Amino acid sequence: MRFQRVLFLALAASIGSACDERLRDVAGPTPDLQPTLSSIQREIFNKQDSSGRLACTQCHTNAGRTPTGGLLLIEGQSYSSLVGRASIGKPDAVRVIPGDPEASYLIHKLEGRSTIVGVRMPRSAGPYLTTGQISIIRRWIQLGAKND
């Protein structure tokens, strides 16, 4: 756990001070990923990446179904479904708390922490988001989780 924390701090520091070229190195299979909702929507929620990870919207959609976990991640709906919203599976957990990635349940689910209800996301048993991809999502939350 200590190693993961040190690794996260190193990645966060590099993301916070890096130019676009270095951010591309951290982003792994989504080289255009930026710490903005529009980029996360486009590169993580909407499409499969080069590692084979499926798009989040394959499950988190309302097209002909109720979205998994009540979490709707389609374009124009993801922000209101994430930011300041309690998890249905764990009502005392808030999905995204602007400025506080450590307390944001989205991060817990993406990392597969032992305190989550259900399984790590994406539920397909992988491939999961990389440490770099999660760090960029953390950075978006840390910067205030703006609807940009």
Cis peptide, bond prior to residue 127, ω within 30 of zero? yes
pLDDT attached to residue 20: 46
Q: How far, in Å, are 20, 55, 109, 127 from residue 122 at the CA level?
A: 27, 9, 8, 8
**Which of 24-33, 58-67, 70-79, 119-128 is most confident?**
70-79
Cα–Cα nearest to 56, from 35, 77, 34? 77
pLDDT attached to residue 31: 84
Instruction: Read off the pTM.
Output: 0.81
User: What is the mean pLDDT of the segment spanning 77-88?
Assistant: 97
